[in-house]
A and B are shown apart, each in its own frame.
Chain A
Amino acid sequence: MSRMAATRDGYGQALLDLSGNEKVVVLEADLGKSTKSLHFRKAHPERTISCGIGEQNMLLVGAGMAASGYIPFASTFAIFTERAFEQMRNGIARPNLAVHLCGSHGGTHTGTDGSSAQSIEDLAIFRTLPNVVVMHPCDDVSTRALTMQLPALGKPSYMRTARNKTPVLYDGRENEIQIGKGITLKEGSDVAIVACGVLVSESLKAAEALAEEGINATVVDMHTLKPIDGALIDSIVERCGALVTAEDHNVIGGLGSAVAEHLVANTFAPLEMVGVQDRFGESGQADEMLEVMQISAHYIALAAKKAISRK
Protein backbone atom coordinates (compact mmCIF):
# COMPACT_ATOMS: atom_id res chain seq x y z
CA MET A 1 0.00 0.00 0.00
CA SER A 2 1.36 3.40 -0.90
CA ARG A 3 1.45 6.25 1.56
CA MET A 4 -1.81 8.22 1.82
CA ALA A 5 -1.84 12.00 2.24
CA ALA A 6 -3.93 15.07 1.49
CA THR A 7 -2.71 17.59 -1.06
CA ARG A 8 -3.60 20.42 1.31
CA ASP A 9 -0.89 19.14 3.65
CA GLY A 10 1.65 19.49 0.85
CA TYR A 11 0.55 23.08 0.41
CA GLY A 12 0.92 23.84 4.12
CA GLN A 13 4.37 22.28 4.16
CA ALA A 14 5.47 24.28 1.12
CA LEU A 15 4.44 27.56 2.73
CA LEU A 16 6.69 26.70 5.66
CA ASP A 17 9.52 25.76 3.29
CA LEU A 18 9.12 29.10 1.52
CA SER A 19 9.09 31.15 4.68
CA GLY A 20 12.84 31.77 4.46
CA ASN A 21 11.95 34.21 1.70
CA GLU A 22 11.10 37.36 3.64
CA LYS A 23 8.81 38.55 0.85
CA VAL A 24 6.44 35.61 1.24
CA VAL A 25 3.28 36.56 3.13
CA VAL A 26 0.22 34.48 3.96
CA LEU A 27 -3.37 35.71 3.86
CA GLU A 28 -6.16 33.86 5.62
CA ALA A 29 -9.95 34.03 5.71
CA ASP A 30 -10.70 31.97 8.83
CA LEU A 31 -9.90 28.64 7.22
CA GLY A 32 -6.18 28.34 7.87
CA LYS A 33 -6.71 25.23 9.97
CA SER A 34 -8.35 23.62 6.97
CA THR A 35 -6.23 24.89 4.06
CA LYS A 36 -3.12 24.26 6.21
CA SER A 37 -1.69 27.75 6.10
CA LEU A 38 -1.86 27.54 9.91
CA HIS A 39 1.68 26.12 10.10
CA PHE A 40 3.05 29.26 8.49
CA ARG A 41 0.86 31.42 10.73
CA LYS A 42 2.26 29.74 13.84
CA ALA A 43 5.85 30.13 12.68
CA HIS A 44 5.46 33.64 11.24
CA PRO A 45 2.51 35.47 12.76
CA GLU A 46 4.09 38.79 11.71
CA ARG A 47 3.85 37.83 8.05
CA THR A 48 0.35 36.37 8.26
CA ILE A 49 -2.66 38.58 7.73
CA SER A 50 -6.02 37.41 9.01
CA CYS A 51 -8.79 38.88 6.86
CA GLY A 52 -11.58 37.39 8.95
CA ILE A 53 -14.35 35.72 6.97
CA GLY A 54 -13.85 38.10 4.06
CA GLU A 55 -12.57 36.49 0.88
CA GLN A 56 -13.14 39.49 -1.37
CA ASN A 57 -11.10 41.71 0.89
CA MET A 58 -8.40 39.06 1.19
CA LEU A 59 -7.72 38.89 -2.53
CA LEU A 60 -7.35 42.62 -3.00
CA VAL A 61 -5.20 42.96 0.12
CA GLY A 62 -3.06 40.40 -1.68
CA ALA A 63 -3.07 42.53 -4.83
CA GLY A 64 -1.92 45.57 -2.86
CA MET A 65 0.87 43.60 -1.24
CA ALA A 66 1.97 42.08 -4.55
CA ALA A 67 2.10 45.58 -6.03
CA SER A 68 4.32 46.54 -3.08
CA GLY A 69 6.88 43.81 -3.72
CA TYR A 70 5.52 40.98 -1.60
CA ILE A 71 4.57 37.45 -2.67
CA PRO A 72 1.15 36.76 -1.18
CA PHE A 73 -0.28 33.28 -0.73
CA ALA A 74 -4.01 33.44 -0.02
CA SER A 75 -6.17 30.42 0.67
CA THR A 76 -9.71 29.41 1.51
CA PHE A 77 -12.02 26.62 0.35
CA ALA A 78 -12.22 26.35 -3.44
CA ILE A 79 -15.89 27.25 -3.32
CA PHE A 80 -15.28 30.49 -1.42
CA THR A 81 -12.56 31.67 -3.80
CA GLU A 82 -15.41 31.97 -6.27
CA ARG A 83 -17.12 34.84 -4.49
CA ALA A 84 -13.95 36.83 -5.04
CA PHE A 85 -13.86 36.02 -8.74
CA GLU A 86 -14.23 39.60 -9.90
CA GLN A 87 -11.54 40.71 -7.47
CA MET A 88 -9.32 38.05 -9.01
CA ARG A 89 -10.26 39.18 -12.50
CA ASN A 90 -10.02 42.93 -12.31
CA GLY A 91 -7.78 43.39 -9.30
CA ILE A 92 -5.23 40.62 -9.84
CA ALA A 93 -5.31 39.04 -13.32
CA ARG A 94 -5.78 42.25 -15.28
CA PRO A 95 -2.79 44.08 -13.75
CA ASN A 96 -0.95 40.71 -13.71
CA LEU A 97 -0.13 40.82 -10.01
CA ALA A 98 1.48 37.67 -8.69
CA VAL A 99 -1.04 36.70 -6.00
CA HIS A 100 -1.19 32.95 -5.43
CA LEU A 101 -4.62 31.69 -4.55
CA CYS A 102 -5.21 28.20 -3.21
CA GLY A 103 -8.68 26.69 -3.01
CA SER A 104 -8.78 23.63 -0.79
CA HIS A 105 -11.63 21.13 -0.32
CA GLY A 106 -12.35 21.25 -4.06
CA GLY A 107 -14.60 18.84 -5.89
CA THR A 108 -17.33 16.44 -4.85
CA HIS A 109 -14.66 14.30 -3.16
CA THR A 110 -14.78 16.81 -0.30
CA GLY A 111 -17.74 14.79 0.91
CA THR A 112 -20.41 15.17 3.55
CA ASP A 113 -20.44 18.97 3.78
CA GLY A 114 -22.61 18.61 0.68
CA SER A 115 -23.24 20.49 -2.54
CA SER A 116 -22.65 23.97 -1.13
CA ALA A 117 -19.03 23.09 -0.39
CA GLN A 118 -18.34 20.91 -3.44
CA SER A 119 -16.79 23.28 -5.93
CA ILE A 120 -17.16 21.85 -9.43
CA GLU A 121 -16.49 25.01 -11.41
CA ASP A 122 -13.38 26.63 -9.88
CA LEU A 123 -10.94 25.29 -12.46
CA ALA A 124 -13.20 26.46 -15.27
CA ILE A 125 -13.70 30.00 -14.07
CA PHE A 126 -10.08 30.69 -13.22
CA ARG A 127 -8.98 29.16 -16.51
CA THR A 128 -10.92 31.91 -18.31
CA LEU A 129 -8.74 34.64 -16.80
CA PRO A 130 -5.79 35.85 -18.86
CA ASN A 131 -2.41 35.62 -17.06
CA VAL A 132 -3.66 33.12 -14.46
CA VAL A 133 -1.92 29.75 -14.18
CA VAL A 134 -4.29 26.99 -13.03
CA MET A 135 -3.16 23.82 -11.25
CA HIS A 136 -4.74 20.81 -9.59
CA PRO A 137 -2.08 18.41 -8.30
CA CYS A 138 -2.80 14.84 -7.25
CA ASP A 139 -0.59 14.21 -4.24
CA ASP A 140 1.13 16.02 -1.42
CA VAL A 141 4.61 15.72 -2.96
CA SER A 142 3.64 17.36 -6.24
CA THR A 143 1.53 19.98 -4.46
CA ARG A 144 4.53 20.90 -2.37
CA ALA A 145 6.86 20.97 -5.39
CA LEU A 146 4.50 23.09 -7.48
CA THR A 147 3.86 25.52 -4.65
CA MET A 148 7.61 25.91 -4.15
CA GLN A 149 7.90 27.07 -7.78
CA LEU A 150 5.30 29.82 -7.46
CA PRO A 151 7.50 32.67 -6.16
CA ALA A 152 9.51 32.45 -9.40
CA LEU A 153 6.38 32.40 -11.57
CA GLY A 154 5.90 36.17 -11.63
CA LYS A 155 2.18 35.98 -12.38
CA PRO A 156 -1.01 35.04 -10.57
CA SER A 157 -2.04 31.46 -9.99
CA TYR A 158 -4.91 29.35 -8.77
CA MET A 159 -4.30 25.92 -7.27
CA ARG A 160 -7.01 23.53 -6.16
CA THR A 161 -6.14 21.12 -3.35
CA ALA A 162 -8.31 18.42 -1.84
CA ARG A 163 -9.60 17.76 1.65
CA ASN A 164 -9.20 13.99 1.78
CA LYS A 165 -6.22 11.71 1.59
CA THR A 166 -5.24 10.08 -1.69
CA PRO A 167 -2.35 7.75 -2.62
CA VAL A 168 1.06 9.44 -2.80
CA LEU A 169 2.66 8.92 -6.20
CA TYR A 170 5.80 11.02 -6.21
CA ASP A 171 7.83 10.19 -3.10
CA GLY A 172 11.45 10.76 -4.13
CA ARG A 173 10.41 12.15 -7.53
CA GLU A 174 10.12 15.84 -6.58
CA ASN A 175 12.51 16.86 -9.36
CA GLU A 176 10.19 15.63 -12.09
CA ILE A 177 7.46 18.08 -11.15
CA GLN A 178 7.33 21.28 -13.13
CA ILE A 179 4.56 23.83 -13.65
CA GLY A 180 3.10 23.41 -17.14
CA LYS A 181 4.54 19.94 -17.77
CA GLY A 182 2.23 16.94 -17.56
CA ILE A 183 3.71 13.70 -16.25
CA THR A 184 3.32 10.34 -17.93
CA LEU A 185 2.77 7.81 -15.15
CA LYS A 186 2.19 4.80 -17.32
CA GLU A 187 2.75 4.15 -21.01
CA GLY A 188 0.40 2.19 -23.24
CA SER A 189 -0.60 2.56 -26.87
CA ASP A 190 -4.34 1.78 -26.97
CA VAL A 191 -5.76 4.80 -25.17
CA ALA A 192 -4.51 7.73 -23.09
CA ILE A 193 -6.15 8.79 -19.84
CA VAL A 194 -5.40 12.38 -18.91
CA ALA A 195 -6.38 13.18 -15.33
CA CYS A 196 -5.90 15.73 -12.59
CA GLY A 197 -6.23 15.79 -8.82
CA VAL A 198 -7.97 13.00 -6.97
CA LEU A 199 -8.81 11.22 -10.22
CA VAL A 200 -5.17 10.54 -11.12
CA SER A 201 -4.99 7.55 -8.78
CA GLU A 202 -8.45 6.44 -9.98
CA SER A 203 -7.08 6.55 -13.53
CA LEU A 204 -4.16 4.35 -12.56
CA LYS A 205 -6.65 1.86 -11.10
CA ALA A 206 -8.66 2.03 -14.32
CA ALA A 207 -5.49 1.36 -16.33
CA GLU A 208 -4.81 -1.73 -14.21
CA ALA A 209 -8.32 -3.03 -14.85
CA LEU A 210 -7.96 -2.34 -18.55
CA ALA A 211 -4.61 -4.18 -18.64
CA GLU A 212 -6.37 -7.29 -17.37
CA GLU A 213 -8.54 -7.11 -20.46
CA GLY A 214 -5.50 -6.67 -22.68
CA ILE A 215 -5.94 -2.94 -23.17
CA ASN A 216 -2.81 -0.87 -22.62
CA ALA A 217 -3.44 2.63 -21.44
CA THR A 218 -1.21 5.64 -21.05
CA VAL A 219 -1.93 7.62 -17.89
CA VAL A 220 -0.98 11.28 -17.65
CA ASP A 221 -1.10 13.48 -14.56
CA MET A 222 -2.03 16.87 -16.04
CA HIS A 223 -1.49 18.83 -12.85
CA THR A 224 -1.35 22.12 -14.76
CA LEU A 225 -4.56 22.88 -16.67
CA LYS A 226 -3.34 26.23 -17.87
CA PRO A 227 -1.09 26.56 -19.71
CA ILE A 228 -1.97 23.07 -20.91
CA ASP A 229 0.92 20.86 -22.01
CA GLY A 230 0.07 20.78 -25.73
CA ALA A 231 3.24 18.98 -26.76
CA LEU A 232 2.40 16.11 -24.43
CA ILE A 233 -1.18 15.93 -25.75
CA ASP A 234 0.15 15.81 -29.32
CA SER A 235 2.48 12.95 -28.45
CA ILE A 236 -0.21 10.85 -26.74
CA VAL A 237 -2.62 11.43 -29.62
CA GLU A 238 0.10 10.12 -31.91
CA ARG A 239 0.78 7.10 -29.73
CA CYS A 240 -2.75 6.16 -28.66
CA GLY A 241 -5.20 7.75 -31.08
CA ALA A 242 -7.96 8.01 -28.43
CA LEU A 243 -8.22 10.02 -25.22
CA VAL A 244 -10.12 10.12 -21.95
CA THR A 245 -10.03 13.00 -19.51
CA ALA A 246 -10.88 12.48 -15.84
CA GLU A 247 -11.60 15.21 -13.32
CA ASP A 248 -13.67 15.79 -10.18
CA HIS A 249 -15.15 18.90 -11.80
CA ASN A 250 -17.91 19.83 -14.18
CA VAL A 251 -17.21 18.51 -17.68
CA ILE A 252 -17.89 22.06 -18.81
CA GLY A 253 -14.79 24.21 -18.69
CA GLY A 254 -12.28 22.07 -16.82
CA LEU A 255 -9.54 19.65 -17.87
CA GLY A 256 -11.74 17.96 -20.48
CA SER A 257 -12.44 21.29 -22.10
CA ALA A 258 -8.79 22.31 -21.98
CA VAL A 259 -7.76 19.10 -23.75
CA ALA A 260 -10.64 19.40 -26.25
CA GLU A 261 -9.65 22.98 -27.05
CA HIS A 262 -6.18 21.77 -27.88
CA LEU A 263 -7.37 18.78 -29.89
CA VAL A 264 -9.70 20.68 -32.19
CA ALA A 265 -6.98 23.17 -33.04
CA ASN A 266 -4.31 20.50 -33.61
CA THR A 267 -4.43 16.78 -34.37
CA PHE A 268 -7.88 15.42 -33.77
CA ALA A 269 -8.62 12.24 -31.83
CA PRO A 270 -11.80 10.90 -30.18
CA LEU A 271 -12.13 12.15 -26.61
CA GLU A 272 -14.37 10.94 -23.77
CA MET A 273 -14.75 13.24 -20.80
CA VAL A 274 -15.21 11.72 -17.35
CA GLY A 275 -16.35 14.40 -14.95
CA VAL A 276 -19.37 15.79 -13.16
CA GLN A 277 -22.22 15.86 -15.69
CA ASP A 278 -23.35 19.43 -15.15
CA ARG A 279 -25.19 18.76 -11.88
CA PHE A 280 -24.71 19.62 -8.23
CA GLY A 281 -23.55 17.11 -5.66
CA GLU A 282 -24.94 16.15 -2.27
CA SER A 283 -23.74 14.94 1.11
CA GLY A 284 -21.88 11.65 0.89
CA GLN A 285 -18.55 10.07 1.77
CA ALA A 286 -15.68 10.85 -0.62
CA ASP A 287 -15.65 7.40 -2.21
CA GLU A 288 -19.45 7.36 -2.44
CA MET A 289 -19.36 10.68 -4.29
CA LEU A 290 -17.03 9.29 -6.95
CA GLU A 291 -19.64 6.58 -7.61
CA VAL A 292 -22.66 8.92 -7.49
CA MET A 293 -20.94 11.30 -9.90
CA GLN A 294 -19.79 8.35 -12.04
CA ILE A 295 -16.16 9.42 -12.02
CA SER A 296 -14.49 6.47 -10.25
CA ALA A 297 -12.01 4.04 -11.85
CA HIS A 298 -14.88 1.89 -13.11
CA TYR A 299 -16.32 4.75 -15.17
CA ILE A 300 -12.90 5.84 -16.41
CA ALA A 301 -12.29 2.33 -17.76
CA LEU A 302 -15.71 2.31 -19.45
CA ALA A 303 -14.94 5.66 -21.07
CA ALA A 304 -11.58 4.34 -22.26
CA LYS A 305 -13.27 1.48 -24.09
CA LYS A 306 -15.75 3.88 -25.62
CA ALA A 307 -12.95 6.17 -26.81
CA ILE A 308 -11.14 3.20 -28.38
CA SER A 309 -14.34 2.13 -30.17
CA ARG A 310 -14.57 5.58 -31.73
CA LYS A 311 -11.09 5.41 -33.29
Chain B
Amino acid sequence: MAKSISELEEIARKCRVEIVKMVHRAQAGHPGGSLSEIDLLAGLYATRMRVRPEEPKWSDRDRFILSKGHASPGMYSILAEMGFISHEDLKSYRVLGGVCQGHVDMKWCPGVDFSAGSLGMGLSFGMGCAAAARLDKSERRAFVMIGDGEMQEGSVWEAAMAAAHHELGNLKVILDRNRIQNDDFCEAQMRMFDIPAKWKAFGWNVKEIDGHNMNEIMEGLDFLEAPENCKGPSILIAHTIKGAGISYMENNPSFHGAAPNDEQFHQAMVELGEVEA
Protein backbone atom coordinates (compact mmCIF):
# COMPACT_ATOMS: atom_id res chain seq x y z
CA MET B 1 0.00 0.00 0.00
CA ALA B 2 2.93 2.29 -0.61
CA LYS B 3 1.86 5.84 -1.27
CA SER B 4 2.96 7.60 -4.43
CA ILE B 5 4.94 10.81 -4.29
CA SER B 6 1.96 12.79 -5.54
CA GLU B 7 -0.29 11.23 -2.90
CA LEU B 8 2.19 12.26 -0.22
CA GLU B 9 2.37 15.75 -1.65
CA GLU B 10 -1.41 15.98 -1.51
CA ILE B 11 -1.40 14.92 2.16
CA ALA B 12 1.11 17.68 2.89
CA ARG B 13 -1.00 20.21 0.98
CA LYS B 14 -4.08 19.32 2.98
CA CYS B 15 -2.07 19.65 6.18
CA ARG B 16 -0.87 23.10 5.11
CA VAL B 17 -4.48 24.19 4.71
CA GLU B 18 -5.27 22.98 8.24
CA ILE B 19 -2.16 24.64 9.70
CA VAL B 20 -3.12 28.03 8.31
CA LYS B 21 -6.74 27.56 9.40
CA MET B 22 -5.66 26.70 12.94
CA VAL B 23 -3.46 29.72 13.50
CA HIS B 24 -5.92 32.01 11.76
CA ARG B 25 -8.80 30.78 13.90
CA ALA B 26 -6.75 31.10 17.11
CA GLN B 27 -5.14 34.37 15.97
CA ALA B 28 -2.03 33.00 17.64
CA GLY B 29 0.45 30.20 17.21
CA HIS B 30 3.39 29.22 15.06
CA PRO B 31 2.79 28.85 11.33
CA GLY B 32 6.39 29.24 10.11
CA GLY B 33 7.91 26.16 11.70
CA SER B 34 4.75 24.14 11.07
CA LEU B 35 4.92 24.81 7.34
CA SER B 36 8.64 24.06 7.15
CA GLU B 37 8.29 20.68 8.85
CA ILE B 38 5.09 19.45 7.24
CA ASP B 39 6.45 17.69 4.16
CA LEU B 40 8.79 15.75 6.45
CA LEU B 41 5.98 14.85 8.84
CA ALA B 42 3.73 13.78 5.99
CA GLY B 43 6.44 11.55 4.51
CA LEU B 44 7.36 10.10 7.89
CA TYR B 45 3.85 9.39 9.16
CA ALA B 46 2.39 8.17 5.88
CA THR B 47 5.22 5.80 4.98
CA ARG B 48 7.34 4.88 8.02
CA MET B 49 5.74 5.29 11.41
CA ARG B 50 4.64 1.96 12.85
CA VAL B 51 1.62 3.22 14.74
CA ARG B 52 -2.03 2.27 15.25
CA PRO B 53 -4.24 5.36 15.22
CA GLU B 54 -7.11 3.31 16.70
CA GLU B 55 -4.80 2.14 19.50
CA PRO B 56 -2.58 5.18 20.16
CA LYS B 57 -0.99 3.68 23.27
CA TRP B 58 0.03 0.40 21.57
CA SER B 59 3.24 -0.37 23.43
CA ASP B 60 5.39 -1.29 20.42
CA ARG B 61 4.54 1.85 18.45
CA ASP B 62 7.32 3.99 17.04
CA ARG B 63 7.61 7.19 19.02
CA PHE B 64 7.57 10.58 17.34
CA ILE B 65 8.81 13.42 19.48
CA LEU B 66 8.18 16.95 18.30
CA SER B 67 10.86 18.62 20.35
CA LYS B 68 10.13 21.99 18.70
CA GLY B 69 6.68 21.67 20.22
CA HIS B 70 5.56 25.18 19.28
CA ALA B 71 5.19 23.88 15.71
CA SER B 72 2.19 21.93 16.97
CA PRO B 73 -0.26 22.85 14.18
CA GLY B 74 1.93 20.78 11.84
CA MET B 75 1.75 17.78 14.12
CA TYR B 76 -1.97 18.14 14.83
CA SER B 77 -2.71 18.32 11.12
CA ILE B 78 -0.88 15.09 10.36
CA LEU B 79 -2.41 13.36 13.41
CA ALA B 80 -5.84 14.29 12.02
CA GLU B 81 -4.85 13.08 8.56
CA MET B 82 -3.74 9.74 10.10
CA GLY B 83 -6.93 9.41 12.14
CA PHE B 84 -5.53 9.86 15.67
CA ILE B 85 -7.80 12.84 16.15
CA SER B 86 -10.65 14.23 14.09
CA HIS B 87 -10.56 17.26 11.84
CA GLU B 88 -13.12 18.77 14.21
CA ASP B 89 -10.55 18.44 17.02
CA LEU B 90 -8.28 20.82 15.13
CA LYS B 91 -10.70 23.60 16.00
CA SER B 92 -9.70 23.18 19.64
CA TYR B 93 -6.20 24.53 18.96
CA ARG B 94 -5.40 26.95 21.79
CA VAL B 95 -9.00 26.80 23.02
CA LEU B 96 -9.74 26.17 26.69
CA GLY B 97 -10.15 22.45 27.30
CA GLY B 98 -9.07 21.48 23.77
CA VAL B 99 -6.98 18.42 22.88
CA CYS B 100 -4.87 20.70 20.68
CA GLN B 101 -2.98 22.63 23.36
CA GLY B 102 -0.67 25.47 22.32
CA HIS B 103 2.31 23.14 22.56
CA VAL B 104 1.93 19.41 21.89
CA ASP B 105 1.11 17.63 25.12
CA MET B 106 0.99 13.87 25.74
CA LYS B 107 -1.55 14.36 28.52
CA TRP B 108 -4.03 16.03 26.20
CA CYS B 109 -3.75 14.63 22.70
CA PRO B 110 -3.91 11.04 21.39
CA GLY B 111 -0.85 10.25 19.29
CA VAL B 112 1.37 12.73 21.09
CA ASP B 113 4.16 11.02 23.00
CA PHE B 114 6.00 13.99 24.44
CA SER B 115 4.90 17.10 26.32
CA ALA B 116 6.89 19.84 24.66
CA GLY B 117 7.24 23.60 24.99
CA SER B 118 10.75 24.02 26.33
CA LEU B 119 13.28 23.67 23.55
CA GLY B 120 16.19 21.31 23.94
CA MET B 121 14.32 18.61 25.83
CA GLY B 122 13.04 16.23 23.17
CA LEU B 123 16.31 14.61 22.16
CA SER B 124 17.06 13.49 25.70
CA PHE B 125 13.50 12.18 26.00
CA GLY B 126 13.90 10.37 22.67
CA MET B 127 17.11 8.82 23.92
CA GLY B 128 15.19 7.52 26.92
CA CYS B 129 12.55 6.02 24.65
CA ALA B 130 15.26 4.41 22.51
CA ALA B 131 17.08 3.01 25.54
CA ALA B 132 13.80 1.60 26.87
CA ALA B 133 13.03 -0.03 23.51
CA ARG B 134 16.42 -1.70 23.56
CA LEU B 135 15.86 -3.00 27.10
CA ASP B 136 12.46 -4.29 26.00
CA LYS B 137 14.08 -5.99 22.97
CA SER B 138 11.48 -4.14 20.92
CA GLU B 139 11.89 -3.12 17.28
CA ARG B 140 10.29 0.27 17.94
CA ARG B 141 12.18 3.42 17.03
CA ALA B 142 12.27 6.95 18.39
CA PHE B 143 12.08 9.73 15.81
CA VAL B 144 12.83 13.20 17.15
CA MET B 145 12.28 16.44 15.26
CA ILE B 146 14.36 19.39 16.40
CA GLY B 147 14.64 22.97 15.18
CA ASP B 148 17.83 24.67 14.09
CA GLY B 149 17.45 27.43 16.68
CA GLU B 150 16.74 24.74 19.22
CA MET B 151 20.13 23.21 18.45
CA GLN B 152 21.71 26.12 20.30
CA GLU B 153 20.56 24.66 23.61
CA GLY B 154 23.47 22.90 25.32
CA SER B 155 21.22 20.04 26.40
CA VAL B 156 20.85 18.97 22.75
CA TRP B 157 24.57 18.25 22.69
CA GLU B 158 24.52 16.41 26.00
CA ALA B 159 21.97 14.07 24.45
CA ALA B 160 23.84 13.86 21.16
CA MET B 161 27.03 12.78 22.90
CA ALA B 162 25.24 10.30 25.15
CA ALA B 163 23.23 8.69 22.33
CA ALA B 164 26.39 8.04 20.33
CA HIS B 165 28.17 6.70 23.40
CA HIS B 166 25.33 4.26 23.97
CA GLU B 167 25.17 3.39 20.25
CA LEU B 168 21.43 3.92 20.09
CA GLY B 169 20.76 2.88 16.52
CA ASN B 170 17.01 3.13 17.09
CA LEU B 171 17.23 6.88 17.70
CA LYS B 172 16.64 9.02 14.60
CA VAL B 173 16.64 12.79 14.44
CA ILE B 174 15.21 15.05 11.77
CA LEU B 175 16.54 18.59 11.87
CA ASP B 176 14.26 21.25 10.40
CA ARG B 177 16.96 23.53 9.05
CA ASN B 178 14.79 26.52 8.14
CA ARG B 179 17.46 29.11 9.07
CA ILE B 180 15.10 31.20 11.22
CA GLN B 181 14.41 31.20 14.95
CA ASN B 182 12.24 33.49 17.13
CA ASP B 183 13.71 36.96 16.85
CA ASP B 184 15.53 36.73 13.55
CA PHE B 185 17.57 34.58 11.15
CA CYS B 186 19.86 32.10 12.94
CA GLU B 187 22.78 33.75 11.20
CA ALA B 188 22.09 36.94 13.17
CA GLN B 189 21.18 35.31 16.48
CA MET B 190 23.81 32.59 16.75
CA ARG B 191 25.90 31.30 13.89
CA MET B 192 26.17 27.52 13.92
CA PHE B 193 28.83 27.14 11.26
CA ASP B 194 29.23 23.62 9.86
CA ILE B 195 26.22 21.76 11.24
CA PRO B 196 26.79 18.40 9.48
CA ALA B 197 30.40 18.39 10.67
CA LYS B 198 29.27 18.98 14.25
CA TRP B 199 26.94 15.98 14.25
CA LYS B 200 29.56 13.81 12.52
CA ALA B 201 32.08 14.84 15.16
CA PHE B 202 29.59 13.68 17.80
CA GLY B 203 29.52 10.25 16.17
CA TRP B 204 26.24 10.42 14.26
CA ASN B 205 25.34 9.17 10.79
CA VAL B 206 24.46 12.28 8.81
CA LYS B 207 22.57 12.94 5.58
CA GLU B 208 21.38 16.23 4.09
CA ILE B 209 18.26 16.59 1.97
CA ASP B 210 15.86 19.16 0.57
CA GLY B 211 13.05 18.96 3.12
CA HIS B 212 10.39 19.99 0.61
CA ASN B 213 11.25 17.47 -2.10
CA MET B 214 9.23 14.32 -1.42
CA ASN B 215 11.60 12.11 -3.41
CA GLU B 216 14.52 13.30 -1.33
CA ILE B 217 12.49 12.90 1.84
CA MET B 218 11.91 9.24 0.94
CA GLU B 219 15.63 8.78 0.31
CA GLY B 220 16.39 10.46 3.60
CA LEU B 221 14.01 8.20 5.52
CA ASP B 222 15.54 5.18 3.73
CA PHE B 223 18.90 6.40 5.02
CA LEU B 224 17.62 6.58 8.60
CA GLU B 225 16.28 3.02 8.34
CA ALA B 226 19.22 1.47 6.47
CA PRO B 227 20.71 -1.43 8.48
CA GLU B 228 24.19 0.09 8.31
CA ASN B 229 22.80 3.25 9.96
CA CYS B 230 21.10 1.36 12.77
CA LYS B 231 24.30 0.68 14.69
CA GLY B 232 24.31 4.19 16.10
CA PRO B 233 22.14 7.30 16.05
CA SER B 234 21.39 9.03 12.75
CA ILE B 235 20.30 12.48 11.74
CA LEU B 236 18.62 13.81 8.64
CA ILE B 237 19.44 17.47 8.10
CA ALA B 238 16.50 18.75 6.10
CA HIS B 239 17.02 22.09 4.38
CA THR B 240 13.67 23.81 4.52
CA ILE B 241 12.00 27.18 4.11
CA LYS B 242 10.25 28.64 7.11
CA GLY B 243 6.65 29.32 6.12
CA ALA B 244 6.99 27.10 3.01
CA GLY B 245 3.98 27.21 0.71
CA ILE B 246 2.63 30.63 1.64
CA SER B 247 4.49 33.32 -0.28
CA TYR B 248 4.37 36.10 2.30
CA MET B 249 5.38 33.79 5.13
CA GLU B 250 8.35 32.25 3.35
CA ASN B 251 11.71 33.24 4.84
CA ASN B 252 9.91 35.83 6.93
CA PRO B 253 10.91 35.81 10.63
CA SER B 254 7.71 37.68 11.58
CA PHE B 255 5.69 34.57 10.82
CA HIS B 256 7.55 32.46 13.35
CA GLY B 257 4.82 33.18 15.86
CA ALA B 258 2.16 35.34 14.25
CA ALA B 259 -1.21 34.61 12.70
CA PRO B 260 -2.39 35.82 9.29
CA ASN B 261 -5.18 38.42 9.17
CA ASP B 262 -8.37 37.74 7.18
CA GLU B 263 -6.98 39.06 3.92
CA GLN B 264 -3.72 37.13 4.31
CA PHE B 265 -5.74 34.05 5.21
CA HIS B 266 -7.72 34.31 1.99
CA GLN B 267 -4.53 34.71 -0.01
CA ALA B 268 -3.08 31.61 1.67
CA MET B 269 -6.15 29.57 0.75
CA VAL B 270 -5.78 30.73 -2.85
CA GLU B 271 -2.10 29.85 -2.93
CA LEU B 272 -2.85 26.40 -1.51
CA GLY B 273 -5.49 25.82 -4.19
CA GLU B 274 -8.36 25.67 -1.73
CA VAL B 275 -10.33 28.56 -3.20
CA GLU B 276 -10.40 30.48 -6.48
CA ALA B 277 -8.61 33.81 -6.51
Contact = CB atoms under 8 A, between A and B. Distances in A.
A167 to B, nearest CB: 22
Given A50-B189, A112-B26, A114-B101, 10 more contacts: A31-B183, A50-B188, A54-B152, A54-B154, A112-B102, A282-B96, A283-B94, A283-B95, A283-B96, A283-B102
B24 to A, nearest CB: 14
A51 B26 CA distance: 31
B149 interface: yes
Interface residues of A, number: 29
B149 A114 contact: no
A95 interface: no
Interface string B17-57: 00000000010110000000000000000000000000000
Given A116-B69, A292-B96, A52 B103 contact: no
Contacts of B152: 30, 52-54
Contacts of B26: 112
Interface of B: 26, 28-29, 69, 94-98, 101-103, 105, 108, 115-120, 149-150, 152-154, 181-183, 188-190
26 contacts: A28-B183, A30-B152, A30-B183, A30-B189, A33-B182, A50-B190, A51-B190, A52-B149, A52-B152, A53-B119, A53-B149, A53-B150, A53-B153, A53-B182, A53-B190, A56-B154, A79-B117, A113-B103, A113-B117, A114-B102, A115-B105, A115-B117, A116-B103, A116-B115, A117-B117, A283-B96
Nearest to B93: A283
B68 to A, nearest CB: 10
A151 interface: no
Interface of A: 28, 30-34, 38, 50-54, 56-57, 79-80, 83, 112-117, 282-285, 288, 292
A116 B94 CA distance: 13
B190 A114 contact: no
B101 A115 contact: yes
Given A113-B103, A114-B102, A115-B105, A53 B181 contact: yes
Contacts of B105: 114-116
Contacts, number: 88
A39 to B, nearest CB: 13
A285 B150 CA distance: 27
A53 B157 CA distance: 13
A30 B117 contact: no
Contact of B103 (A32, A54, A117, A285): A117
A116 B153 CA distance: 17
B182 A31 contact: yes
Contacts of B102: 112-114, 116-117, 283
B189 A283 contact: no
A51 B105 CA distance: 28
Nearest to B116: A116
Q: Which 7 A-B pairs have the closest CB atoms?
A: A116-B117, A52-B190, A52-B152, A114-B102, A284-B96, A112-B94, A113-B102
A38 to B, nearest CB: 7
A34 B70 CA distance: 15
Given A30-B149, A33-B183, A284-B96, A114 B103 contact: yes
